[in-house]
Structure 1
Amino acid sequence: MIKPVFFLSMIFLAAAGAQAGNLANGAWSSARCGAKPAAVTVDQRNPDAYNKSLDKVTAYQKDTNTYLDCLVAEGNLDIQLISKAITDEQLAARAARDKILADVKAANQKFDGK
């Protein structure tokens, strides 16, 4: 029986489209979160300019939170995809080894008359 958590994680991985981030020279970057929001400055020239700049600060904070949430989600998906790929390779190698061992055992029995 397939365990529900495993089954649901496989559905999630399939639905996610498996678009991984980019890894180059030891640095990871997002493939789908867009550009990092540009930092804004607080305008301290006068009270009106200050109040207007606070709207930009609020928007920056909101955009940054959205961007960081996207990075975390994409990074976690990449980790899951990498782990699954490694596990699949390990299982394939184990199956190949088991087949070889079974063939060796069968050949030994055949040729040794046992």
Structure 2
Amino acid sequence: MLPLLTWRIIMTHEQILLRLKENIQLVYRQSVDADHSIEALRKDDKAKFSAIFGDSTPFTTRSNLFLPYVEELAADLLAVQQASDDKSFEQGLATLVKKIELMFSTLGAFKTNLKA
């Protein structure tokens, strides 16, 4: 992903929002697959964790499945879309991008660990 400053120089708010929506849609599809895998692991008594992310992440959601975190991303996207000024837009954008990056890296690690 490009640094936020670069995004601001070459992309409009609408273009940024479109990219965010595309990324959240991709995270959603990967999360559905991951949650199916978690449910299968639970049936075999192998998924004994209480939350995907701990307290030291930007997420406020606490769940042992990925989809509730996607719901938080969608709510954050809505808040960014409704930002009343550039400062609010940029602050919300920075947090949302961090969360999306964390979701991608965690989903990737989960998928890699499933294969191992």
When the two structures are superposed, what TM-score results if normalisation uses the length of structure 1? 0.36
Higher relative contact order (CA 8 A, sep 6+): 2
Rg bigger for which structure?
1
Report the TM-score when normalising by structure 2. 0.36
